[in-house]
Structure 1
Amino acid sequence: MTSQIFEIASIPADGVGVEVVEAGRNVLDALAQNSGGAFTFEWKDFDWGSDYYARHGRMMPVDGLDQLKDLDAIFFGAVGWPTVPDHVSLWGLRIAICQGFDQWANIRPVNFLPNVASPIVDAHERNLDWIVVRENSEGEYSGFGGRNFSGRAGLGEVATQSAVFTEVGCERIFRYSFDLARTRPRKKVSKVTKSNAQQFGMVLWDDVFDRVAQDYPDVETESVLVDAMAAKFILKPEDLDVVVASNLHADILSDLGSAMAGSLGLAASANLNPERRFPSMFEPVHGSAPDIAGQGIANPVGQIGSAALMLDHFGLNAEADRVRAAIEKTCADGVRSREVGGSSSTRDITSAIIDNLG
């Protein structure tokens, strides 16, 4: 048997990212060790992040993307630290990678795990399960704008921030969402918009959706204003399947979904370049959590769930399902982190998931 070798960039970055990336790597390495030589992971370590910024004045080297571009994937922790402004750390590392590698599809599954309390009444009896698909390359996070007139007397400075919507960007994220919906039992796509107030970019967004939808007559569709969708997440989540939204709207709604499932610490995500011209990046939704960093109590489930998404990306779907089943079994057994009502350490949870891989 010829072994598949996957070269993966490991970028823990800041705070609890260091602890949860280690946990995710341990789970992946355990899978590889028990694969009978079918596949292995070769880790390439990168010390980029806020500590790197303190030494070099940058979050990563000038040639950082060149160092990553030939690898199979990027396993990312979390970015952000009190000593570096958030917009500097985010744009200097995570967004630089996402935009530099055209990782235009961000997927964030919303999963309700056993033995994890949800603020939604009877959540576990309602079989709630949906995926937020985030347009990840343009929209409100395009970076177009600037600050001017800072030399004026008084309160004279002006800042502009432009949202950019292109027909190409809209069409590809909608087709991705429809193709994803076709793989799911419900086969429904809910498009989030705000075209009643944003009459240019989001009207284009709506028009492209309506055109693309004609190619998928077997998929149910709906269009929901973002404020109404926030309410729908709470009041009628059983009606959700694939929810596609712009960069900003999906960022907010996916965090709402994760909170509904019990904690942002449980949430996984994938930043995908579906054409595979560049490596995709897999990371948990939670932040760097400086208040608990280094204490060994961070929840590794989001990172390990992101590892499962990476396995899917590699075509190792059975192994990805084993990881997800092990996460569910671990939670069902009561091995949980503190923010979801448990007392288990990062290491305890990781060890239990490895033991439950089967």
Structure 2
Amino acid sequence: MAGNSFGEAFRITTWGESHGAAVGVVIDGVLPGIHLTEADIQTELDRRKPGQSAMSTARQESDAVKIMSGVFEGKTTGTPILLMIRNADHDSSAYDNIRDTPRPGHADYGYFCKYGIRDHRGGGRSSGRETAGRVAAGAVAKNILAAYGIDLVCHVVQIGPEKADVDLLGNLSVGEIKERIEKNPVRCADPIAAAAMEKAVLDARENKDSLGGIVEGRISGVPAGLGEPVFDKLDADLAKAVMSIGAVKGFEIGDGFTAANATAAQFNDKFMYDGKDIVTKTNHAGGILGGISTGMEIRFRAAVKPTPSIACPQETVDLKSGKNTTIEIKGRHDPVIAPRLVPVAEAMAAIVILDHLMRNRMLKK
């Protein structure tokens, strides 16, 4: 199976399945001498792990990370880092009834057509469980970026019909958003909207259904000049990174799709000198022009689909008999994906920024 690796100078390869023995990641390209411990990584994994509230699956996993290589006496050695997270609380029997019936909204049918075989237990490789390795790698990237004054956050701005106050969010810094989102289970920086979102999710769960949402990413401290001018544009790599997360179905940089309804006079960001740097008066472009960072805050948004595993009956096909049938999905599933996707999107964004810093040789040993 190709397509398990991402990045160039800072390169990650995730491995493992939802109901296998473990999941994890191999990281290549980390410079030697960087302080790194399991505790540094565990903080991020704890944000992603299941079973933390009624907004997530009831599956209980400690997600305890183990550094298997690439670190000696708390310092990176420059060799590949292998991180392992064991699976403990998986009930494969809940999937026996769907062994031959692809679930609507899932990758089941595509995997079957491509490989002729698939791990039906929890979705196997296509499960959201795979993202634990990404978050572990992202923790390493974040740890390095922090030393260069680069900070980032992702947060939920919409779940179902409930939306956060755009004006409120616009006045909050990256740091302020980081403080706010861990105070509610939907990871929204607007407490009023968060309460409405939580109710909407619980109502959907009561109706044996789920909800989609929108996650916004903000990255501060990125220097101007990151990104390649043609195929490896910084926004293109961010789009690929975030769109590679299983539940993401849409992506935009800055004001994105609203550009279609604007004129150039409205959308163009005017340059000015603020006494120290060249900046723009507005940031409709989201901190990236021509695929290269401008030094302004980078902003992106991702549309997250509703969790496809729902308890109500759904129509599908029995692959053995070729007959139409109906299934009811058992097991433990998130009634909304967006809040748990937050640390995953942060991890992928951090990996992209660090990779481009290294490609531009802006890191110092």
Is TM (by shorter chain) over 0.5? no
Higher helix content, 1 or 2: 1
TM-score with structure 1 length normalisation? 0.28
